[in-house]
Structure 1
């Protein structure tokens, strides 16, 4: 029971964090985000993909629907962010930019949710897809 409550807290928290990150990308002008992606050597269209996954996936994680899929996608996004953007600044940052400590924590949370039983007790996955 305690493990299920803890997993639910992690899942919902992760969902809120990614939802608001995706929302910020769209509210701040997705073209600006796409331009930044281009400036770090990623194709501009990947900004749209990442922002959409964060926005939609965040909502679905909060609801507990398709959690393993989106948690896995979030893990991939965090691996990309660490390797492409944050690794050079180190774990704690270099005084000019933040480090990858938060990204690493989000990666761990996403991996936990992606390998946990997909039918968490307090989720739509469990309600819709568990044989009774």
Structure 2
């Protein structure tokens, strides 16, 4: 793989992971019970807030270091689909789901391509 492409994926992976890490952290710092209440107000089971917050927090960190990038990206893509269709779609594109849509696209890109440059995963695979 070309070095410029690898560096681009690294930057994408770190930024993407940081965004989700901070979102997961905010769910815990702001009171996970509030997030559970928000989920319930959308008609979702409130307890779903817990695995979502853990996936965002731990998954964001895993993505940053490049551990399980494809698996975590798949989980985050599912979370983004859920967010778009349960919370954001009714607000429209601008001010609604546009940011979730780009995060979904990044998740799918990392799911399909992976990211090995400066990644823990590269320690476990052969080139």
Pair 1:2–1:36, CA change in 2 (3 A): same
C-alpha separation in 1, matches of 2:37 and 2:109: 32
How far has the Cα of 1:119 moved from its partner?
5.6
Q: Does 1:124 align with 2:126?
A: no
Give me the CA root mean square deviation: 1.1
Give me the TM-score of the superposition, normalised by structure 1: 0.91
Q: Distance in 2 between matches of 1:74 and 1:57?
A: 8
TM-score by length of 2: 0.95
Counterpart Cα distance in 2 of 1:21 and 1:76: 15
Runs of 4+ residues deviating >4 angstroms:
none
**Aligned residue-pair number:** 125
Contact between 2:9 and 2:115, CA under 8 Å: does it hold in 1?
no
**Long gaps (5+) in structure 1:** 93-97
Where do 1:102-117 residues align within 5 Å? 102-116=99-113
Query: Which protein has the bigger helix share?
Result: 2
The answer as to whether partners of 1:4 and 1:122 remain within 8 angstroms in 2 is: no
Q: Flag structure 2 segments of 5+ consecutive residues without an equivalent.
A: none
